[in-house]
Structure 1
Amino acid sequence: MKKNSFQFVLFIALLCFIRPAAANVSLLILGDSLSAGYGIAAADSWPQEVQRRWQQNHPNLQLINASISGETTAGALRRLPQLIERHQPDWVFIELGGNDGLRGFSLRTMQANLSQMIQLLESANIKVALSEIHIPPSMGPRYTRMFRQSFPQLAEQHPNVVLIPFFMRDIALQPDYMQADGIHPNTAAQVPIADILEPQLRQLLLQEVN
């Protein structure tokens, strides 16, 4: 009887260790230079700031930053199957399209690439958050307007996708937060960006835990 009692206590103790590990939830960021930390130290980027906060306050949440400066939707689409296989995330935050827009790429092609990424992720039972992206008006008012409309349109086409407002919308208006090119946020902007995005991303992941 004592042996059985000991085995029962050991079983409960093991569950206490197993359950937190099983509750781990991961988010992969699939982005471009805005998320890759272009022009600043990688340790100072907003994804690293978010990860530090989660390690301290939500250790069951994991962030994987697969962003690359200069990335396009076509490039990310090619990389995505390998990223899914390697990391098997619960969520993917897509922050892409800016380089397509700045290079004047076909918006129909950009939307098709993003749509294929969403379909590929959802077919693997991975949930998707999509960031709105804005580009400067230098490409002309019609192209700029159609570019911005692309992201709400994608969210309508894929009703399970969570549309995240463009996190640079207010940051870009503050010169103290921008690098000399006027496009990329500087080191000082990374904590404010994390302040904007961390609560939204955390809320998504905590749905998987609760």
Structure 2
Amino acid sequence: MAGLFSTLSLKARSLLSRLKISVAILATISTLFATLPVHADTILILGDSLSASYGMDKNEGWVEKLKAELPQHTIINASVSGETTAGGLRRLPAVLKSSQPDLVLIELGGNDGLRGFSTKKLKSNLTKLIEISEKSGAKVLLSEVMVPPNYGPRYSKSFNQVYFDLADKKNVMLMPFFMTEIAPKSELMQRDGIHPNIKAQPIIVDFVKPWIEKALK
């Protein structure tokens, strides 16, 4: 009988030992998965002076600051001051080829509006920008853009409506214009009354970041 209990005890200790090893292995695997980096995406910002650090050093602009907020992702700033939708359309194929982004944030149209370009042409160019981006395999986040009210309510309304119509027609996410709450505050604007100053850049980052994260899901 004593020998039987001894054998059972030995088997119990062996089973317990194997259970401990299994638990240890599971804990190790769990730790490894917990420490794995978040999937990295490449984000392309195709914009104008509002995204090109106009009037300040490059590293002071909101796109550069966004890189610090999203270090797991690669953010490429292809924004150019004075850029129109036509200019962005000419550059986009080469930029897509070199960057191969997972997401394209299109922030263009402001200079079209300031130059009084037709909303029909604006819509056509933005449509092509969206289609070319999606054809490359990237998701698209379209930024709403607005023109100053002194261009007349009819033109301003027609201009702004282009973005809503496109977002609906092309089924892309539309991010509200990040200048809406900034532009009326002189302390956040440069002397020209058009471009945000250094103080406004962190505010833009806080506004844009959740939209980019949402678009990447």
Q: TM-score range by the shorter chain?
A: 0.7 to 0.9
Rounded to whole Å, the distance in 2 between the matches of 1:155 and 1:194 is: 22
Q: Kindly provide the CA deviation profile for residues 81-110 of structure 1, in whole angstroms up to 9, marking residues without a partner as x.
A: 001100000000000000000000111011
Q: Kindly provide the CA deviation profile for residues 100-154 of structure 1, in whole angstroms up to 9, marking residues without a partner as x.
A: 0000011101110000111111112211000001110121111111011110011
Aligned to 2:167: 155
- Of 85, 91, 94, the residue aligned with 1:82 is 94
Which structure 1 segments of 5+ residues have no match? 1-11
Q: TM-score, normalized by length of structure 2?
A: 0.81
- Of 148, 152, 177, the residue aligned with 1:140 is 152
The more displaced of 65-74 and 130-139 is: 130-139
Q: Is the counterpart of residue 105 in structure 1 residue 117 in structure 2?
A: yes
Rounded to whole Å, the distance in 1 between the matches of 2:210 and 2:66 is: 9
Rounded to whole Å, the distance in 1 between the matches of 2:182 and 2:149 is: 17
Residue type at the aligned position of 1:89: P
Instruction: Check whether the contact 2:139–2:215 (CA below 8 A) recurs between aligned residues.
Output: no
Q: Kindly provide the CA deviation profile for residues 7-38 of structure 1, in whole angstroms up to 9, marking residues without a partner as x.
A: xxxxx9xx98xx859x3201100000000011
Residue type at the aligned position of 2:150: S
Query: Secondary structure of the residue that 2:51 maps to in structure 1?
Result: helix
Q: Is the counterpart of residue 115 in structure 1 residue 131 in structure 2?
A: no
Q: Could you tell me how far 1:203 is from its partner in structure 2?
A: 2.7
Counting only pairs closer than 5 Å after superposition, residues 3-152 of structure 1 correspond to structure 2 as: 20=37, 23-55=39-71, 59=72, 61-152=73-164
Q: Is the counterpart of residue 180 in structure 1 residue 191 in structure 2?
A: yes
Residue type at the aligned position of 1:48: E
When Rg is computed on C-alpha atoms for both structures, the one with the higher figure is 2
Residue type at the aligned position of 1:43: N
Runs of 4+ in 1 over 4 A off after TM superposition: none
Structure with more relative contact order (C-alpha pairs < 8 Å, separation 6 or more): 1
Rounded to whole Å, the distance in 2 between the matches of 1:63 and 1:154 is: 25
- Residues paired across the two proteins, number: 185
Q: TM-score, normalized by length of structure 1?
A: 0.84
Q: Kindly provide the CA deviation profile for residues 182-201 of structure 1, in whole angstroms up to 9, marking residues without a partner as x.
A: 11000010011111111221
Rounded to whole Å, the distance in 2 between the matches of 1:124 and 1:113 is: 17
Q: Kindly provide the CA deviation profile for residues 150-206 of structure 1, in whole angstroms up to 9, marking residues without a partner as x.
A: 1001111101x110001100011111000011110000100111111112212323x
Rounded to whole Å, the distance in 1 between the matches of 2:215 and 2:140 is: 10
Rounded to whole Å, the distance in 1 between the matches of 2:52 and 2:93 is: 20
- Of 153, 178, 188, the residue aligned with 1:167 is 178
Q: Kindly provide the CA deviation profile for residues 40-80 of structure 1, in whole angstroms up to 9, marking residues without a partner as x.
A: 1110100111101112xxx2x12111000000000000000
Aligned to 1:5: none
Rounded to whole Å, the distance in 2 between the matches of 1:116 and 1:203 is: 23
